[in-house]
Structure 1
Amino acid sequence: MFEPVTIKDIAKALGLSTSTVSRALRDTYEISPATKKLVTDYAKQIGYKPNPIALSLKERRSKSIGVVVSEVANSYFSQAVDGIESIAYDKGYHVIISQTHESYEREVINVNHLASRSVDGLLVSLSSQTSDISHLKSLHDKGLPIVFFDRVADEIVTHKVIADNEKGAFEATDYLIKSGYRKIAHLTSSSYLSISIERLSGYKKALAHHGIEFREDYVKYCPHGGMLYEETETAIKELLALKDKPNAIFVAGDRLSTGCLSVFKNLNVAVPNDMAIAGFSNSDVLDLFNPSLTSIRQPAYEIGRLATEMLLKIIEAKYPIEEFEKKVLDTDLYIR
């Protein structure tokens, strides 16, 4: 069993009181230089390391932040996590990542576990099944710093960092229309997610801009955001079964885009001859797909960095922060 050296051990060995040793190690002015040197030399010699848990109890800081995402395998989130870590480690914070796999239950368990591990703050991107955010609201009300990125909750007043989802969706749909398609379906995640609402709005605006009527039966929701192959397959089969079936699809997510291509392959639907597709995706793997798909890329790395900077500002603020902002970053259309 690993037994770390404690301040008590040093005090006993040097015949000093624990408070004297503690002050000497903290380098306070009340201790004479000679005693300080004696204590620090001995501490070095025996490999004394301050206990981070004891320190965090004393300072009320654990120097760690919790991150809640749907899955790290999703290229958007892996890039965002890179951005989060680049800032956190520079500032001496550890990052604890947890995945919800788009499950509300898991999100609640993960959030409460991170809070009980006394993280200094949370960076959250909601799961596609989360419509009730009381688990986050109660922690936020108790003073736990929380910053949302990508999938945000309007009810909680804090910093939020998102991509310009509406503009991105408009551009992708507009691209399909300009490529000659007028029967464009929309495949998206759960209806109440902030990104779904914003992307649906951009899709509708592009149709209206070109005088194309919006059709409710052309919109398909996948409540698990593409995590379940069957769900994506069912949605596409329903579109293909329509009497006036679409000839293009605008897909509103990373997981859904690659899932959609898999379904087409298995159903022998030729892209773009039978069905054209444009979607939101940060995956570099798309370049290897044949046929590929034109995609909207989000500045995931930048979103991660910015959200972390904002969170650390709240954590390290001397006074409660009253002013919060929602940062909206630009997206790019990658035509393949």
Structure 2
Amino acid sequence: MKRHQVTIIDIAKELNLSKSTVSRALTGHKSVKPDTRQAVLELAEKLDYQRNMLAISLITKKTNTIGIIVPEFHSSYFPKAIIGAQEVASKAGYSTVICQSDETYETEVANTRVMLANQVDGILVSITKETKNFDHLKIFQRKGIPIVFFNRVCDEMDVPKVIVDDYDGSFRAVSHLIERGRKRIAHLAGPYSLKISEKRLNGYKAALRKHNVAFDEDLVISYDLNIDKVKIYVNHLLNMENPPDAIFAVNDPTAIETIQVIKKRGLRVPEDIAVVGFSNDFVSGLIDPALTTVAQPVKEIGQAAAQLLIDQINREVGDWKAIIRVLKTELIIRKSS
């Protein structure tokens, strides 16, 4: 026997209210008295009433859904950022659609199509290492759909962004190594297509200048964040006639793999070579030796990005503001340095 699906009419009859009053109560309209709204919500829950989101979206022109596109799930960074974003979105009455791009431009483009098909009210985006063309993201601007970048951002688009001070974090990490007596500090950098890689490299160079340590371009290796290649690059550095006495890595996964390679060579960390990472990934404090790293307020980044997006959604297009939030990092000193 087919179960009867509860409708607004059923709730209205039960409470002796008009359909329009029940409808406004279910959508949180301010014109409905709090006790009336409470009675409607309690009965709706008791009767297992399911709101027709399609019908509501046709009336309000909103789906109360935001999209989140991230480049990868291999590290703990993006899951933590998403948790922060979802907390803010949920409190504001928004559901989330999440896609990860597997660090490929083509998948990122496909993910934006998914977001458009789902008619999201706005999107949060952190781009892939391959992304150099942003036409697929500019579509959202043309359609009047707000977009906020976080972590990995696009400078071509004048929209809100949430980042950390990568330059300062890198500067303090390398300064720490120099203050510990290290003079030949190598840098395993990320791809130069990413602004975070560029800023961390610049912070590295600035720290060397500040402490009168000569810059050696042979000690800087930019790579595509494919962890399988770290072994090749670290062994190359260790095989140099004058090898480095420290390595500053663009992120924690790179730093953790660096430590494993060094140990397999029979060298000690930090006695023979110190290692510092960036991000404070979950496992950075669990490895042996525990990794010195630059911590980012990842959950707060997600929260700030979601709040900026919701603020944009609630504004008229002409009132959108391209706010840039820059959060501070913290140097976490552990045994690897």
Q: TM-score, normalised by structure 2?
A: 0.84
Deviation at 1:322, TM superposition (A): 4.1
Number of aligned residue pairs: give it.
Answer: 318
* Maintained 8 Å contact 1:76/1:254: no
For 1:319 and 1:102, locate their aligned partners in 2 and report how far apart those are by CA, in whole Å.
Answer: 31
Aligned equivalents of 1:310 and 1:171: distance in 2? 29
Offset at residue 240 of structure 1 (A)? 2.1
SS in 2 for 1:26: helix
Q: What is residue 271 of structure 2 aligned with on the other side?
A: 273
Corresponding position of 2:217: 216
Residue number in structure 2 paired with 1:283: 281
Matched residue of 2:318: which SS? coil
How far apart, CA to CA, are the structure 2 residues paired with 1:76 and 1:187?
19
Tell me, yes or no, if structure 1 residue 95 matches structure 2 residue 93.
no
Deviation at residue 102 of structure 1 after TM alignment? 1.6
1: CA distance, partners of 2:323 / 2:61:
26
Cα offset, 1:319, TM superposition = 5.3
Structure 1 pair 98/268, CA: closer, same or farther in 2 (3 Å)? farther
Q: CA deviation at 1:292?
A: 2.0
1:147 and 1:3 mapped to 2: Cα distance? Answer: 43
1:254/1:282 contact within 8 Å kept: yes
The Cα of 1:237 is off from its aligned counterpart by: 2.2
Which amino acid in structure 2 is aligned with residue 169 of structure 1? S
Question: 1:291 deviation in Å?
Answer: 1.4
Q: Which moved more, 1:213-222 or 1:153-162?
A: 213-222
Instruction: Say whether 1:108 aligns with 2:106.
Output: no
Retained in 2: the 8 A contact 1:160–1:307?
A: yes
Paired AA for residue 298 in structure 2: A
Structure 2 Cα separation of the partners of residues 99 and 181 of structure 1: 39
Conservation of the 8 A alpha-carbon contact between 1:75 and 1:254: no
- 2:71–2:126 Cα contact (<8 Å) kept: yes
The answer as to 2:290 corresponding to 1:292 is yes
Alignment match, 2:240? 242
Q: State the Cα distance separating 1:222 from its structure 2 match.
A: 2.0
Is the contact between residue 252 and residue 284 of structure 2 (CA under 8 Å) also seen in structure 1? no
Equivalent position of 2:118 in the other structure: 117
Identify if the C-alpha distance between structure 1 residues 57 and 294 changes in structure 2 by more than 3 Å, giving closer, same or farther: same
2:233 partner amino acid: A
- Structure 1 position 24, deviation (Å): 5.5
- Is this contact kept in 1: 2:147–2:309, CA < 8 A? yes
Q: What residue number does 2:253 align with?
A: 255
Contact 1:159 1:310 in 2 (8 A): yes
Q: Structure 2 vs 1, CA of residues 3 and 168 (structure 1 numbering), >3 Å: closer, same or farther?
A: farther
Partner of residue 31, structure 1: none
Contact residue 148 and residue 307 of structure 1 kept, 8 A: yes
Paired residue for 1:17?
none
The within-5 A match list for 1:1-336 is 5=5, 23=20, 25-27=22-24, 47-223=48-224, 225=225, 228-318=226-316, 320-336=318-334
Identity percentage of aligned residues: 36
| Unpaired stretches in structure 2, ≥5 consecutive residues | 26-35
Q: Aligned with 1:98: secondary structure?
A: strand
Mean Cα deviation higher: 152-161 or 264-273: 264-273
Quote the Cα distance in structure 2 between the aligned partners of 1:329 and 1:289: 27
In structure 2, relative to structure 1, the CA distance for the partners of 1:286 and 1:322 (3 Å cut) is closer
CA contact (8 A) 2:185 2:248 kept: yes
> Per-residue CA shift, 1:41-70, capped at 9, x if unaligned?
9x9586542211232233221111111112
**Aligned amino acid, residue 26 of structure 1:** S
Distance in 1 separating the partners of 2:253 and 2:4? 45
Say if 2:144 and 2:317, in contact at 8 Å, map to a contact too: no
Query: Structure 2 CA distance, aligned partners of 1:231 and 1:316?
Result: 45
Contact 1:102 1:128 in 2 (8 A): yes
Q: In the alignment, is the contact (CA less than 8 A) between 1:75 and 1:282 conserved in 2?
A: no
CA gap 1:27/1:198 in 2 versus in 1, 3 angstroms = closer
CA distance in 2, matches of 1:185, 1:54: 59
How far, CA to CA, are the matches of 1:27 and 1:79 in structure 2? Answer: 35
- After superposition, the Cα gap between the structure-2 partners of 1:318 and 1:292, relative to the gap in structure 1 and judged at 3 Å, is same
